Amino acid sequence: MWTGSINGVKLQVWATWLFYAVLVDLGDAVADELSLPFDRISLEMIYRGLYHFNVAYDKGNAEDPIKYFAAPENQDLGVVKYLRKPVSKLDLSPFPAPS
């Protein structure tokens, strides 16, 4: 929706912040359900997974989005971020020590 009035812009900003707050709250609830820290949960994949939850809800296969995202059969949605390898420190000394 495009608008040039200040009230329209304020409404769009308010709606965006409200949706983000709901998304963060949902991500936090999923993290609690999985007993993981919040930063391991991908909010983007929660947002994308809402479509899949809606389809499952319409078919009668899901009732609660938190349990849906935490279910083992739905881990292919990518809600939980993969653990990355730690970044190795680059040794820039002229004669690096063998590792």
| Number of domains making up the chain | 1
Annotate the chain with three-state secondary structure. Answer: CCCCCHHHHHHHHHHHHHHHHHHHHHHHHHHHHHCCCHHHECHHHHHHHHHHHHHHHHHCCCCCHHHHHHCHHHHHHCCECCCCCCCCCCCCCCCCCCC
Asked if residue 84 is part of any domain, the answer here is: no
pLDDT at 93: 84
pLDDT at 38: 96
Instruction: Provide the residue range defining the domain that includes 46.
Output: 7-77
pLDDT tens series, the chain, 99 aa: 677 899 999 999 999 999 999 999 999 999 999 999 999 999 999 999 999 999 999 999 999 999 999 999 999 999 999 998 888 888 788 887 776
Asked if residue 31 is part of any domain, the answer here is: yes
Amino acid at 22: V
User: What region does 96 belong to: left with phi over 0, alpha with psi -120 to 50, or beta?
Assistant: beta
Asked if residue 28 is part of any domain, the answer here is: yes
pLDDT at 4: 82
